[in-house]
Amino acid sequence: MRKPKRILVVDVGGTNVKLRVTGHRAMRKFSSGPRLTPKKMVSETRALAADWRYDAIAIGYPGVVRHGKITVEPRNLGRGWVGFAFAKAFGKPVRVINDAALQAIGCYRKGRMLFLGLGTGLGSALVTDGIVEPTELAHLPYKRGRSFEEYVGEHGRECLGAKKWRRAVADVVARLSTALQVDEIVIGGGNARRLTHLPDKARRVTNSNAYIGGVRLWRGRGR
């Protein structure tokens, strides 16, 4: 199909689902959580965006997406996401991508960049010379039999306290930067604002980059 003029971007998170459409600066949202099924997400999105006009939809999903298809059920949402027919449910063309990859596309500049999303969990995506590669770093072992996500996700922040959590984030960023040999690390997600100092080679971004990523997903680098 032709590049759509108006795109609805749906950023599905563990706490909220955020919506923004081409031509409007305002972001709208509704609560997600462990009872949010894809059917309910579509219903609430359509209701909340009823007065918006859009030709296509970009969805950022908090889990594994391969070749535009969800392959693993989410950890923090309801069931039924694998195999769900989003285009049929919305009645519009839909592209689905990992939520961290959506953010990464939106904030990418050049070179080799690692995006880390500090939110309910830990999202990650690697972009090399403009090519995005979703990664599943969150559940790799880190310390004491626990994963990266268990230390730097929201549960880890609540258990460790702010000071120790920030130290854990700095250590995780340093390890991943060295292991993946990146030029830059971009830190986003709702908890990025809680960092008082940024690690070397890191910059902080807001969740608004998900919208830019959704537009680029359909149109390429242009906004």
Q: What is the CATH number of the domain that holds 122?
A: 3.30.420.40
Provide mean pLDDT across the span 204-211.
90
Examine the domain organization and report whether 167 and 190 are in the same domain.
Answer: yes
| Residue 1, domain member (yes or no) | no
Query: Is the pLDDT assigned to residue 223 strictly greater than 60?
Result: no
Dihedral sign of CA atoms 90, 94, 96, 101 in order: negative
Asked if 154 contacts 119 with a C-beta cutoff of 8 angstroms, the reply is: yes
Query: Is the pLDDT assigned to residue 222 strictly greater than 50?
Result: no
Query: Is the pLDDT assigned to residue 90 strictly greater than 70?
Result: yes
Supply the range of the domain harboring residue 152: 110-204
Q: What pLDDT sits at residue 146? A: 95
What the block records as the tokens of 129 is 């010379």
Q: What pLDDT sits at residue 1? A: 64
Examine the domain organization and report whether 43 and 65 are in the same domain.
Answer: yes
Burial of 83 (0-12, 13-18, 19+ CB in 10 A): exposed
Q: What pLDDT sits at residue 133? A: 84
Examine the domain organization and report whether 125 and 60 are in the same domain.
Answer: no
| Residue 66, domain member (yes or no) | yes
Residues above pLDDT 70, as percent of the chain: 98
Examine the domain organization and report whether 140 and 85 are in the same domain.
Answer: no
Examine the domain organization and report whether 48 and 89 are in the same domain.
Answer: yes
Examine the domain organization and report whether 215 and 153 are in the same domain.
Answer: no
As a whole number of angstroms, the distance between CA 186 and CA 188 comes to 7
Examine the domain organization and report whether 35 and 119 are in the same domain.
Answer: no
Examine the domain organization and report whether 67 and 139 are in the same domain.
Answer: no
What the block records as the tokens of 96 is 């689905």
Examine the domain organization and report whether 34 and 88 are in the same domain.
Answer: yes
The torsion of the CA quartet 15, 75, 98, 196, rounded to 10 degrees, works out to: 50
Q: What is the pTM of this model?
A: 0.89
Examine the domain organization and report whether 194 and 213 are in the same domain.
Answer: no
Asked if 10 contacts 48 with a C-beta cutoff of 8 angstroms, the reply is: no
At 136, the pLDDT band (50, 70, 90 cuts) reads: confident
At 39, the pLDDT band (50, 70, 90 cuts) reads: very high
What the block records as the tokens of 46 is 């359509």
**pLDDT tens-digit series, residues 99-130:** 999 999 999 999 999 999 998 889 999 999 99
CB atoms near residue 150 (< 10 Å): 21
What the block records as the tokens of 92 is 């519009």
Examine the domain organization and report whether 116 and 90 are in the same domain.
Answer: no
Provide mean pLDDT across the span 51-68.
95
| Residue 27, domain member (yes or no) | yes
Q: What pLDDT sits at residue 206? A: 87
- Name the domain count of the chain: 2
Examine the domain organization and report whether 88 and 115 are in the same domain.
Answer: no
**pLDDT tens-digit series, residues 178-202:** 999 999 999 999 899 999 999 888 9
At 221, the pLDDT band (50, 70, 90 cuts) reads: low
